[in-house]
Amino acid sequence: MSRVEDDKSATPGLQDALKADRLPIWRLLAFTMAGFIAILSETMPAGLLPQISRDLGVSEAMSGQLVSLYALGSVVAAIPLIAATRRWRRKQVLLLAIGGLFLFNMATALSTDYVLTLIARFVAGMAAALIWGLLAGYARRMVPHHLQGRALAIAGVGQPIALSLGVPLGAWLGTLFDWRGIFGIISALTLALIVWVVAAVPDYPGQAQNQRQPIRKIFMTPGVRPVLFVLFVWILAHNILYTYIAPFMAFVGLANHLGLVLLIFGFSSVIGIWITGQYIDTRLRFLTLISLATFAVVAMVLGLASELNGVTYLGVFLWGLTFGGAPTLLQTAIADAAGEGADVAQSMLVTVFNLAVAGGGIVGGLLLEQMGAGSFPWTLAFLSLFGLLTVWACKNNAFKPDRRS
């Protein structure tokens, strides 16, 4: 899928990129916006729970299931949808996915029935899964091989921005509009994105019959499973703390500074993905090792010095710095390992990612209830060390030390 020679004739855009040896930024930013809207659609309701619960006549806990059903739709649909559409032209599938997100975000905005709203959220999550399964492979096909990591970093920057801004942005917008109006705004942005994709994004053919490998064979490809394992423990660790960041900030005496903490995390995440984009094509293994090692050290420092506010702020900054590039690093690693099966491998990554997000909520909740928020740093350190050891051991297929060329 990433072989440039196969795609030279597919679009003048690729020929231009090859000739100038530079990135087609405007086209890649359409993918950035797609990822931003997909994550924003998922996280926004968390900042609007009081409004949603009053309007739909349910408890805030039941309103929270709007987030859960979206994630569940992504888990259920990612692999089947990507596998079923492998032979379709890529732009057709991308527009179908973005169009589905538009329709079912609008259905969420217009629905007055709780069950119908949950169904709309579930299908919107399915559309988001298809978007995430497409973005990495699509972005990589638009550039020559030695720029693929950088292109993926640009395409992926929407994710950390939306993750850090989704909840507080939802809460702030909730003071200006009702929750239905906010979903209407997201839908308008999605409609604009459809126009952007139609006008600017090049098209590519799907996979021929002889290129389509069985899903099990792709899963068993050397290097794919280690990347998925590292993804699971890394995202699980991240979401234990991110999901329960409010009680952890209360534990360290910063309950009134949650907005500042999220801002620091979001800012450093963007820096992290910028650094990743600069060096991923030459230092993928090093960046992954140093990110996991730093995350483990930061977690232990937070556990030992949680009463020092300055240390906590610094820890949050380094946490965001190391996490910002994580999705790009792992998307690139699994695409390199899977080869022609990269799109299906990306759908596996989406599935495992969402399972880890759900697992972070479950494990974090159990830890909070049984041991308190003070147990989070040590759990994070333990999980990140598991990931670090896996990356260290898997240098032949999954996390190669050589330059990506």
What domains, with CATH codes, occur in the chain?
1-212 (1.20.1250.20), 213-405 (1.20.1250.20)
Q: What percent of the chain has pLDDT over 70?
A: 89
Determine the pLDDT at residue 2.
Answer: 42
The runs of H, that is alpha helices, within 142-257 are 148-156, 158-173, 179-200, 215-220, 224-243, 245-251
What's the distance, CA 309 to chain centroid? 29
* The pLDDT of residue 145 is above 90: no
* The pLDDT of residue 5 is above 50: no
> No. of H helices and E strands in the chain?
19, 0
Q: Regarding predicted confidence, which is higher, 240 or 122?
A: 122
Span 23-52, average pLDDT = 85
DSSP string, 76-123: HHHHHHHHHTTTS-HHHHHHHHHHHHHHHHHHHHH---HHHHHHHHHH
* The pLDDT of residue 10 is above 50: no
Q: What percent of the chain has pLDDT over 90?
A: 28
Q: Answer yes or no: are the C-beta atoms of 147 and 278 closer than 8 Å.
A: no
Span 368-376, average pLDDT = 85
Which residues are CB-neighbours of 151 under 8 A, at least 6 positions away? 23, 28, 139, 140, 142, 143
Determine the pLDDT at residue 347.
Answer: 81
Determine the pLDDT at residue 19.
Answer: 46
Among 55-64, 146-155, 182-191, 316-325, the range with the most confident prediction by mean pLDDT is 182-191
Which residues are CB-neighbours of 402 under 8 A, at least 6 positions away? none
Q: pLDDT band for 136, please (50, 70, 90 cuts).
A: confident
Span 227-252, average pLDDT = 87
- CA gap 326, 345 in Å, rounded: 16
* The pLDDT of residue 50 is above 50: yes
| The pair of three-digit structure tokens given for residue 225, joined into one six-digit string | 């499973």
| The pair of three-digit structure tokens given for residue 27, joined into one six-digit string | 């086209």
Determine the pLDDT at residue 403.
Answer: 61
Q: Regarding predicted confidence, which is higher, 314 or 147?
A: 314
Q: Answer yes or no: are the C-beta atoms of 251 and 364 closer than 8 Å.
A: no
* The pLDDT of residue 232 is above 90: yes
Q: Regarding predicted confidence, which is higher, 350 or 202?
A: 202
Tens of pLDDT, residue by residue over 193-219, are 999 999 999 988 876 665 567 778 888
Determine the pLDDT at residue 8.
Answer: 44
- CA gap 380, 377 in Å, rounded: 5
- Letter string b/e over residues 326-364, b meaning 16 or more CB atoms within 10 A of that residue's CB: bbbbbbbbbbbbbbbbbbbbbbbbbbbbbbbbbbbbebb
Q: Which residue has the tokens 């450093």?
A: 268
Q: pLDDT band for 4, please (50, 70, 90 cuts).
A: very low
Span 357-384, average pLDDT = 86
- CA gap 242, 361 in Å, rounded: 9
Which range (48-57, 85-94, 212-221, 263-272) has the least confidence? 212-221
